[in-house]
Structure 1
């Protein structure tokens, strides 16, 4: 019989506290249900898209966006390999999401996830940009249903990341408290600029 205690459920891969992306996943796991409709605003290599697709099930739907064709192709490959058919991966920037999500879903989406920065394993000079990110997250709040959730993983440690972080901080601080609740989850005792998770809940 092992004396090892069970691994904590809310932990990073090394046993510590959850990363910014893991916090976003935990919040999504807590709130999403089969049949829900969601957006992965930054498809990347398709990990978050697949995660969301599995949460909402065959009855639900995921719209995923990425401006880079290799990311779109890899996301589609990953979904196909997993047998997932409830997702639309769109080769376009997240600021265009309103144009691609059918009008009947506007104001009815249950969650939207952003994972900013650059595509892992690719050209690090190709990053999300503050102007289009602000446009996209503002649109995201309009597309969310009452009680819908928005998560944003932010990476201030790369070139352009600090400006994006500062702009998101100002944006979140200006949200009307009667319409939205905004929270920030981040490490506070690291010398580098650690990734952080912003969470916005649209009040019902």
Structure 2
């Protein structure tokens, strides 16, 4: 058996969904790793939109994109719950995949964290606008106090999503200590 780690599994879900020319969203750009990964998957004919409330995250992501010579990305310094008002109308219904890394910016201010309520608002907007087969990947970091609250809020919401609307899965290691991150994957039906 070859069990994938949490982040490789999250990326596999994205790889299985995205193709050249697709539209994707990095809902929490952080240090830009997922933004670069998405841009490489959709290639120059696709487009990636990235969101983060922190200027530091936007700047780090811009640097990483320049280094990789990836130009098919538009970044917004605002919360991911605002994506539906920022994307061009012709791209909104074509978003094939979105990823969230919830918690705080690695190496950044740990008092600035994602919030369950805004994440749920973004998930609702994605499910409303995505085509069938669209995928939402949430990497949940819950080893801090706000992360525990967010985890509970999000799990309460996603377990209530009608199975006719979406498939919802949880990928988690059960025997690891110290609140390891896990993945919630949502595929629109």
TM-score range, shorter chain: over 0.9
Q: 1:43 aligns with which of 8, 13, 29?
A: 29
Aligned to 2:149: 163
- Rounded Cα–Cα distance in structure 1 between residues aligned with 2:4 and 2:59: 29
- Determine which structure has more spread, i.e. the larger CA radius of gyration: 1
Counterpart residue number, 2:128: 142
Taking the aligned partners of 2:84 and 2:167, their CA distance within structure 1 comes to: 23
Matches within 5 A, 1:1-204: 17-203=3-189
Q: Which runs of 5+ in 2 are unaligned?
A: none
The question of whether the paired residues in 2 share the 8 Å contact of 1:108 and 1:146 is answered with no
Q: Give the alignment's TM-score, normalised by structure 2.
A: 0.95
Q: Deviations over 1:80-106 (max 9, x none)?
A: 111101000111111100111111222
**For the aligned residues, what is the CA RMSD?**
1.4
Q: 5+ residue gaps in structure 1?
A: 1-7, 11-16
Which stretch of the first structure deviates more once superposed, 175-184 or 98-107?
98-107
In structure 2, how many angstroms separate the alpha carbons of the residues matched to 1:100 and 1:165?
A: 26
Q: Give 1:198 shift.
A: 0.3
- SS for the counterpart of 1:105 is helix
